Chain A
Amino acid sequence: MPTWKQSLSSVLPPSVVEEIDTFESQLELRKQGKLEEKVFAELRLRRGVYGQRYDNGKRHDGAKTQEIAYPHRGLLKGPETQWDAPGMQRIKIPFGRLTAEQLEVLADCAEEYSNGVLHVTTRQDVQLHFVDIEDTPDLHRRLAAVGITTREACGNSVRNVTGCPFAGICGHEAFDISPYARAEMRFLLGHRDVQDFGRKFKIAFSGCADDALGCGRAMMHDLGFIAATREVDGEERRGFRVVVGGGLGPVPHVAKELYDWMPVERMLPASQAIARVYARLGEKRNRNKARIKFLVAQLGIDEFKRLVDQELASLEPDERWTEWLDEPSPSPEYRESPATDGSAVAASGFEDWKATNVYAPRQRGFVAVFVNLPLGDLTSRQARALADIVRRYTRDALRTTVDQNLLLRWVHELDLAALYNDLYTSRLAATGAATVADVTSCPGTDTCKLGIASSRGLGAELRSRLEAAKRQFDDSVKNVHIRVSGCPNSCGLHHIGDIGFYGSSRNIGAYKVPHFQLILGGSLENNAASYGMAVGAVPSRRAPDAVERLLGFYSAERQNGESFRAWVTRVGKKAIKERLQDLLDVPPHEVDPSFYVDWHDAREYSVGDIGVGECAGEVVSLTQFSLAIAESKAFEASILVDSDPAGAARLAFAAMLDAAQGLVKTRNADVSSEPSRVIDEFKRAFIDTRLFFDRFVGNSEWQYLDAASQSNEPPRDADEARRRVEEAQLFIEASHACYARVVQTPRVPVPV
């Protein structure tokens, strides 16, 4: 029976085949103990293969910690991370654009490799949970076959590039940011200048300055592009206001303006220059201070700009900066005519649904429709139903949103009732999208190792209560947004919620009690430039009561239609806290033990399951990466020796080049990938200086690379191929030993 690797090899671009095959061989090398845990962890994170709660093999059962007897104890996929433990696969959906075909493949993968549920995140990604690591190469192949990548979905690199889901239809936008977000994503994906960061790097595109719909959120990102036009020489030109150094996390930073306006042609070189400055100067040892926001704060924006400008001026021109500008525009996303004659009679609930889920774009005759996903989740069957709906009523694509919903665009008004009926049949017609009842929540203690309290449990409870009270239709409170994180790291974006919560724990007597820190005063205004602050910790069981009370006060007291944030500012957090004071107490355990159990759990609450998070990835040097890739290629070469001696020899040579280039990177991070240049620089830096010299074997391994580089002859037979592969292995071993010596001795610059 063919494998997915065989079935899809002719469909995938060769570079993608190599990429995934390399990852697959890295799994094998890890299992054989030939790849260090920490290096492998970062390699898999850069494929979006993430850990999940309990992957350290321990789980608190409410009374004690139990060991989880995974079959291959001792085999790890990262520090303290059991190989067999189910993990999470993060899947990038650049600027949220998803086609019907991609939805169907995601549905298939959710069924075969996960639990049948797709999860939309607050960065427009899709995540699958409870995935076995052995399945991930095939999962990646199947996604790649429909144009989806998981590359750099996690780890210390550029994460998913987000963008307004209303791009192209928004009445407020300066212009459609979609092609620019796409270009940014393509340019930076795998780019050498984004491989040496100390932490993750998040980029967002916003179509408008005031971000009227709250979907761009540029000011809370490491790098934000806010669309703006400007007249230059009598001609209206497209460009961006560029902001840098924003970020939420435990301590949020608002981004600073780097350029008040930059033409679109400069977007990619500017991004590259910013990346190079961050890679060069960003913190790498203290992970808690390694985001670019700390570098910008430390240097000041003026100095940071000076460094970026300097970098920009020294960059080697790259035709990729602008060649994408000549690409033809993608075909329009709308159908020329409605799919139906408009005679459909809508099922019950249509008017309510229309009141909250339908948006009028600037194009007359069309509407955009939100699909409100509870906690960002939908089933594989619902995904297929949506694929059918998208094909039937639009031109094939939809968008994920940062509020964990989906947006169908370009729906003819005439089709609205029929579309509603189709959504209704598939149970995708929940009302209240982007209203108070549409609570945003990170995975929290359900699956995240850092979760402290159950954000999804609270989110579900709030949603249920608010829907039951029909608050999504209550004009006085429906635009209050609630966001819940399981810990201070703000993956649930609690800082920008009107009402935010993040998980915490308090000791009450001999017990631990789950709490949520209440955050008030956040806002989406001005591209998410205003962050809330903590008011006080509320027992998890009382958090819904606190919300109901706050909404009640606000509804009764708002003046002249003031926003929730304005009301909070006017009344004052101190006064508000006093009015919630009675909710902050925890009754004794014997009086009400429910306070000592978190939402949707049954165990007595503990913090014993909190583990080491992988959001920070592992700091692995460029050289370590190159050596790991060299190992992978040598491994693949060893498999091909009998069936394809010439292929084995080519891979063996490529492996040695990777190892050599890796060593050169300790001297010159910008070393070319062109083989003759790699060898020249390697010879100058490591052979002429005798750095590669081993006192027992001399430079014999160098001779393997030297000989291979000078010979174009394929191996005569499998024996010769085997010999070349073994020589490559020896060269890689020598490279490891050389690297160990290099990192221990002071660096002496070598002219290159």
Chain B
Amino acid sequence: MAQNLGVDVGGTFTDVIIFDEETRELTIDKVLSTPTNPSEGVISGISEATNKAGIAVADLSLLFHGTTVVTNMLLEETGARVGLITTNGHEDVLHLARAWTPGPLYGWMGMEKPEPLADLVNTRGISGRISSPEGDELAPIDKEEVLATARELQDNGIESLTVALLNSYLNPTHEQEVRNIIQEEFPDLPVSISADIVPEYGEYERTLTTVINDYARPQVIDYLDELDESLKAEGSTAPMNIVRSDGGLMSSTAAQRRPVELALSGPSGGVVGAATIAAKKGVPDVLTLDMGGTSTDVSLIEDGTPETTRQTKVGYREFKSRAVDVNTVGAGGGSIARVQLSGSLQVGPESAGADPGPACYGQGGEEPTVTDANVVLGRIPSSVQLGGTMELDHKAAYEALAVIAEQRGHSVEEAAQAVIDIVNENMHGALRVVSVERGYDPRDFGLVAFGGAGPMHANALANIMGVYPLIIPPGPGVMSAFGFLTSDIQNEFSETYLQTDLDVEGTDVYEALQELKVEATEWLDSEGVAPDKHAFEYYADCRYYRQDIQMSIPVDVEKLRSGSGIGEIKEDFEVRHDQRFGFSLDAPLEIANLRVIGKGTLQGVSIEEHEVGDPDPSAAQTATDEVYFDDTVHDTAIYDRTALRPGHVIQGPAIVVEDDATIVVQPDHEATVDRYANIEITRGDVR
């Protein structure tokens, strides 16, 4: 009896989901996270959920784990003391930070620049030099100097060490040599070299990314070791798969070496899950909307595959790590609304958080939030109890919004509607960044909405943007944990190539990709993936010679050896360049990087298909409430999602209530429960 478990550690809650391969049933559980020692919350969540499912921890066969541990470490600056070894003369690389100051003019006056994660006190330059672009040794590494430097840093109390030398992306032997020298003397000190973490040009970004890796490493090593031991103590023999920022998986051991790949581990799960659900449904092109209490993550999925990016941003720091291209805005249920001096209404990015929370929580919060606005409009039925226990304080919500109403000269309902319009607009802006700005027409896409607040706002957004169908999956509040179960083992292998189509032939590119494939194969073997489960994707990051853009072009490797050679890559690139920017150039094609993604398929969950029945949903209707839509009050039916069955059709306006989310169906819209138990919403004129 195989049982697979996904666990998602968030800032407030740890979500657990168990899939029973035999009965095909899902068990869902939520426990409070334990930020001071995150493995505690994971363990308690796992034991609670296994109890609920009536199984033992020892029964679990596959574990999938995503975590915000690294994200929070970066945001709160609670990582390790990192030592940094650079090339002589370049010790200030992180301190000078490419000289960037924010806009507009005079932006430097208010700039808050955090200290580098590797303190200058713990940064040293060493001799040795690699030439560019040849990658030859100009000056050797001095072993005695390296040892003396490492001892000094060790005396300073460093807990991990980064070696990031100039031009190591062309030739990593110096970095490797330095690492070997140091590890011989200090075998317990975690050491990362930059050519391993980001084998690409750009010393600032490469150094920063590697330092972030080492900043997170000591804690991640301990955290995963602890988790491993606790699970073993409970009798578990299931391998632990950790979710990466790009939505793929890697083993616990691999994660302990490359924790920087976990920086966006949390949000990636929901995107991967949404991709699976939408593809299963036959809607392979969708936008995703994951709206929580403080922020919203949006992304674009094309042909069942989430868009990924090489630039990951957490707080002030932007570094190079492959991640699902999630765009985050400070718009959530707890976002606070304020009227500015100039009279403009602003919602977020400040949030009332969980404590005191929105005014309607009745915990002393007084500032008006998005959730309060939803309460005033009747979008959250009075029957709903937050977290199953908390009564909504309608009066407090009303009073909080009355302040905005007075400042704007509106009725309280109008003020609440304005707050909703603005927060929707902020999310609309985020969705445009991932769609319109990248040359995609959102009207060619559907929308998958999840997270605690997503289903409440998604219909209005779909209406503004014309993105249909809108899909609300079952269990929208634990979508990330569900998504983990749908992930594959995955890692990326890349090299900086910097060759133009004038210099190399298709066969040269083929050879280079084959070398990367060998690396990827070795890695998949080491992760225990059987050879028949290996899969590979090939990409060339292209641009016109000397541009800064890097467009990832999928490569058919076999065609590289045939007549078309690189020509096909160039054609594909030119089409995309023209689609996105409206022009092409008579210039050579430059391949900046080559990448191979090695994948091993794991089957954590399968999506159950149901018989479709009668369209009449009246058995699931629990009440009729007055809800405010389009400047007036509508009698609105309230439904219980657990009582809805595949085939049921609901006419908007309507509200569907479930444990962890509330779904708003706007007027002139129709909601259908599909055969996978998703709620699908469409507008009369768009199908």
The answer to whether A and B assemble together is no
Please report B residues at the A interface, Cβ cutoff 8 Å: none
